[in-house]
Amino acid sequence: MAERIILQTNGAVDHAMRNAGTLEGWKEHVARYAVGNSRLVLALSTAFAAPLLYPTGAESGGFHFRGASSTGKSTALVVAGSAWGGGGIRGYVRTWRATSNGIEGIASMHCDCLLCLDEMGQVDGREAGQIAYMLANGVGKARASRTGEARPAAEWRLLFLSSGELSLADKIAEDGRGRKAAAGQQVRIVDIPADAGAGMGLFENLHGFPSADAFARHLKMAAGEHYGHASIAFLRTLVDNFDAIAPNVKAYVDEFLEENCPTDADGQVSRVAARFGLVAAAGEMATLADVLPWEPGEATRAAARCFRDWLAMRGGVEPAEESEGIATVRRFIELHGTSRFEAMGDLAPKDGFGGPVEQRISNRVGFRRRADGGGIEYLVLPEAWRTEVCAGLDAAAVARTLARRGYLATDSEGKPQVKTRLPGFANAVRCYVIPADILGEAEPAPVAAGGPLF
């Protein structure tokens, strides 16, 4: 006889792992419609990937659907959540707002499960950053108990789906105090453009529905009628084949990486690719187990597509700090190219007789002059480079990146500073010389042509 296990807790647990309708109804009226819709397939596959974290030792983290209002973001969360539960007043999906008040309780309650967090817009940037970090790190704050003894911090392991109009990075920058999302945060919560580019918001295939609007409304309604069965059916198959999970998933993720992750990708990129691979593996496993009514390959295609969209939006395969450094310098010159750089040489203003005119530059960071081959060069003094242009970043690392990309002149020894004679300085001084090209070119080309799928 099967062993009966009773879980006894201190109080009632406010969970949403209820069920209604049937698994067949869910497959027919909800899951089937995800086919051909990369975001829906990814969201549903993520629902099944959560219980794979434990047997495979994969790290916690999440996907964030970012995009304009009424494009189907919350719908995608509702659809994915219906694999796990629903009902009650709120259904399975939680909000960022509610989570910021009780993150530890909510996160531990979703341990090894999917957590859906809607509406990042409801919390401020700093809070969003902290929640994302904590959720993905899997541990809460240690607190004192009523008797003053240290109470162990809550721990969890989960995957989450989130939605909002801004990306986490933009959200964190939103408060205007110059905060930036750390690269670590951007790896933990992977930002996916909600718009799939087919002119129908998050959707690509409406399966005969007259409009994206009608399709979204159907999905939400059907997910409210059939929910909570799929996760149980999937967990059953996992339990029956527990020892095979880790090796199977690993082989699958390796294959996914080989096919989709550019070979020259930075560690941050391959870490994110591995998360997409895990999700693809989960979708394929649930398909094989007949929990998802999809053809084999559907989950993999969707994960690969979303990974490509993430990579294209990220702007390349180099570490996020590098693209951020280039963007920061570019932004500084765009904003202050004329106001904070004193013109020198033939750019310097002259009076009617060709004599020099005194320039009033407040908070000068350097000079600008005509380059040998035409164009304008910006020369930044070392102190201003560190404290103004690269404020908040590792200035030496930014200089190295720019030099490597041809956005900074180097001296004969390859150093990214060049000795130059500047007006008002008795001797030649070392400064950073930035060609105007840095303004002309768009963000680094989306993904090198070398990657196997591109």
Ligand X SMILES: Nc1ncnc2c1ncn2[C@@H]1O[C@H](COP(=O)(O)OP(=O)(O)OP(=O)(O)O)[C@@H](O)[C@H]1O
Q: Which residues bind ligand X (CB under 6 A)?
A: 69-75, 163, 165, 200-203, 212-213, 216-217
CB–CB of 306/329 below 8 Å?
A: no
Q: What's the closest the beta carbon of residue 59 comes to ligand X, in angstroms?
A: 27
90 binding partner (options ligand X, Mg ion, none; Cβ < 5 to 8 Å by kind): none
Among 334, 286, 232, 273, which Cα is nearest to 19's?
232
CB–CB of 158/110 below 8 Å?
A: yes
Q: Residue 219: which residues within 8 A CB-CB, separation 6 or more?
A: 30, 33, 40, 75, 78, 79
Residue 43 or 212: which CB sits closer to ligand X?
Answer: 212
Residue 78 or 272: which CB sits closer to Mg ion?
Answer: 78
Chain centre to alpha carbon of residue 30: 27
Q: What's the closest the beta carbon of residue 70 comes to ligand X, in angstroms?
A: 4
Q: What's the closest the beta carbon of residue 121 comes to ligand X, in angstroms?
A: 8
Binding mask 252-281 for Mg ion (x = CB under 5 A): ------------------------------
Residues present in the chain in total:
454
Among 37, 46, 74, 323, binds Mg ion (CB under 5 A): 74
69 binding partner (options ligand X, Mg ion, none; Cβ < 5 to 8 Å by kind): ligand X
Report the C-alpha gap between 311 and 195 in whole angstroms. 15
Beta-bridged to residue 115, according to DSSP, are 160
Phi and psi angles of residue 95, each rounded to the nearest 5 degrees, phi first: -110, 155
70 binding partner (options ligand X, Mg ion, none; Cβ < 5 to 8 Å by kind): ligand X
Q: What's the closest the beta carbon of residue 339 comes to ligand X, in angstroms?
A: 38
Report the C-alpha gap between 446 and 111 in whole angstroms. 36
Counting contacts by CB under 5 A, is residue 401 touching Mg ion? no
Residue 73 or 369: which CB sits closer to ligand X?
Answer: 73
Q: Residue 251: which residues within 8 A CB-CB, separation 6 or more?
A: none
Residue 52 or 80: which CB sits closer to ligand X?
Answer: 80
DSSP letter at 154? P
Q: What's the closest the beta carbon of residue 306 comes to ligand X, in angstroms?
A: 16
DSSP letter at 120? G
200 binding partner (options ligand X, Mg ion, none; Cβ < 5 to 8 Å by kind): ligand X
Q: What's the closest the beta carbon of residue 116 comes to ligand X, in angstroms?
A: 12
Tokens, residue 382: 């070392």
List residues binding Mg ion (CB under 5 A).
73-74
